[in-house]
Amino acid sequence: MFGTGSGQGGKDVAVAKAQQTKVQPWVEKYRPQGVDDISYQDEVVKTLKNAIQTGTLPHLLFYGPPGTGKTSTILAVARSLFGPEYRSRILELNASDERGIKVVREKVKQFAQFTVTGLEKTAGYPCPPFKIIILDEADTMTTEAQAALRRTMETYSKITRFCLVCNYVTRIIEPLASRCAKFRFRPLSREVMEARLRAIGTAEGASVTQEMMNAILTVADGDMRKAVTTLQSAHQFYGGSSSITPDAVREMSGGVPDGLVQSLWEAISTQSFDNLKAQCDEVEMAGYPTMAVLHRLFDLVVAEEGVEDAKKAVVMAGLARAEKLIIDGASESLQLLDICALMMRTFLGKNRSAGSGVCVSTPMVL
């Protein structure tokens, strides 16, 4: 009896071990470790490598779209400077931490106060005498908190370096930005992303058809995280079956299929309001994100030949307005119906009743 019991336990542990190794999502598993693993951001990497060699580092400001390697780069820099024990030398504060003025000041103060000279050096690493404070997602900090940061940066400038990381550099206040060396991270090129995805696919035993690869590269649009997540999802979700279509890839990352936009376009051309309404209801019922539909309509309108530019401009203004209103919180279904109706009127020259006194397509002051 005891025998079976322990045998059972042993198996459990083995299973648990196996599970644990699988636990990591690929984005984390294949996060670049060293500065050299960062793809595509050559200028950034070159400059930073210089800094690492000399052990001198200015305050840094990394900016660029999501999934281009900003967080990975600063962590890699810290690793190259301080070796595997770099964790004790960095303080990472991000949008998931409380970052009110007082909290930041307190945390930075506490962290900076421990003198660094006493810290052990790891052989083979420069280990310069400062600590790095990473303010990830800094563009979500209030301007007040950013303003308060100026003083903190100056007070501890001898023993700390700040690295601000953000998507929108314009949301960092100028006095703060001007204290930092700025590095722009560019959306990754298709070639670079493809090479990396292929390497990951091979390592994980995930087969990737060229069609699927192209679809992933298109939806990722330079965002490496999205590319890797989509690759893993496709692998797990479709169990490696090769039947996965580009539409399915688009859907996994919140996009919409070609056919859907096409049927909307056709409904618009029928000139029947009821047809259009039915088609818009269908989009809503299917659960497609309206924002993605708007973006596809935008592409469609731009590419459409045989429509005068002036008319396109009217529709573009309408699309822009609809997007803004949805971000404000307006109803997606109403906005979609409204913009599609506008397209119907504009492209197909449906005349407004002269006597109604209201011209619908006049841009409104909001």
Partner 1 sequence: MLWVDKHRPTTLAKMDYHEDLTARLEALSEDGEVPHLLFYGPPGAGKKTRIMALLRQVFGAGVEKTRLEHKTFKTPTKRTIELTILASAFHQEINAAEAGSGDRFVVQEVIKEIAQSYNPAAAMGQAGGRAYKVVILTEVDRLSRQAQAALRRTMEKYTAACRLILCCNSASRVIEPVRSRCLGIRVAAPSHESICAILNKVSKKESCGVLPEALAMRIAQTSGRNLRRALLMLEACRVQQHPFTAEQEVKVPDWEEYIAKLAVLLTEEQSPQRLVLARDMLYELLTNCIPSDVILKTLLRELLPKLDDQLKHEVVHWAAFYEHRVRVGSKEIFHLEAFVAKFMALYKAFVINTFGF
Ligand X SMILES: Nc1ncnc2c1ncn2[C@@H]1O[C@H](COP(=O)(O)OP(=O)(O)OP(=O)(O)O)[C@@H](O)[C@H]1O
Site for ligand X in 287-346 (CB under 6 A): none
- In eight-state DSSP terms, residue 350 is P
What does the alpha-carbon distance between residue 60 and residue 182 come to, in Å, rounded to a whole number? 6
Does 194 sit near partner 1 (CB under 8 A)?
A: no
Q: Which residue do the tokens 């997602």 mark? A: 137
Residue 9 CB, shortest distance to partner 1, in Å, is 9
Of residues 118 and 239, the one with the C-beta less far from partner 1? 239
Does residue 160 bind ligand X (CB under 6 A)? no
Among 288, 296, 301, 346, which residue sits at the site for partner 1 (rule: CB under 8 A)?
A: 288
CB of 335: closest distance to ligand X in angstroms? 27
Among 66, 129, 175, 240, binds ligand X (CB under 6 A): 66
167 lines the binding site for ligand X (CB under 6 A): yes
Amino acid making up residue 40: Y
Could you give the CA distance from residue 134 to residue 61 in angstroms, rounded to a whole number?
Answer: 10
Could you tell me the smallest distance in angstroms from the CB atom of residue 318 to partner 1? 10
For the record, the structure tokens of 177 come out as: 């930005």
363 is a site residue for partner 1 (CB under 8 A): no
Q: Which of 5, 124, 259, 329 binds partner 1 (CB under 8 A)?
A: 329
Residues 101 to 130 in contact with ligand X, rule: CB under 6 A: none
Q: Which helix (H) or strand (E) holds 285?
A: helix 273-286
Q: Are 129 and 99 in contact (CB under 8 A)?
A: no
The residue (of 51 and 91) whose beta carbon lies closer to partner 1 is 91
Nearer Cβ to partner 1 (59/345): 345
Beta-strand (E) ranges in the chain? 60-63, 90-93, 131-135, 160-166, 181-184
Applying CB under 6 A, which of residues 35, 52, 57, 72 lies at the interface with ligand X?
A: 72
Nearest in space to 166 (alpha carbons), one of 275, 87, 65, 26: 65
Q: Which of 41, 68, 71, 229 binds Mg ion (CB under 5 A)?
A: 71
Residue type, 7: G
For position 345 contacting partner 1 by CB under 8 A, the verdict is yes
> Contact, 78 vs 86, CB < 8 A?
yes
Question: Residue 229 binds which one of Mg ion, ligand X, partner 1, none, with CB within 5 to 8 A depending on kind?
Answer: partner 1
Q: Give residue for tokens 């000139």.
A: 271
Q: Report the residue from 32, 100, 246, 257 that binds ligand X according to the rule CB under 6 A.
A: 32
| In the chain, alpha helices (H) | 2-22, 26-29, 42-54, 70-82, 101-113, 143-155, 174-177, 190-204, 210-220, 224-237, 246-252, 258-269, 273-286, 290-303, 309-328, 332-347
Q: Which two tokens stand for residue 266?
A: 């056709």
Which residue, 71 or 80, is less far from Mg ion as judged by CB? 71
Q: Verify binding: residue 173, partner 1, rule CB under 8 A.
A: no
Q: Which residue in the set 51, 59, 60, 71 belongs to the binding site for ligand X (CB under 6 A)?
A: 71
Rounded to a whole number, what is the distance in angstroms from the first to the last CA of the chain? 78
Residues near ligand X (CB under 6 A) are: 27, 30-32, 38-41, 66-72, 167, 188, 196, 224-225, 228
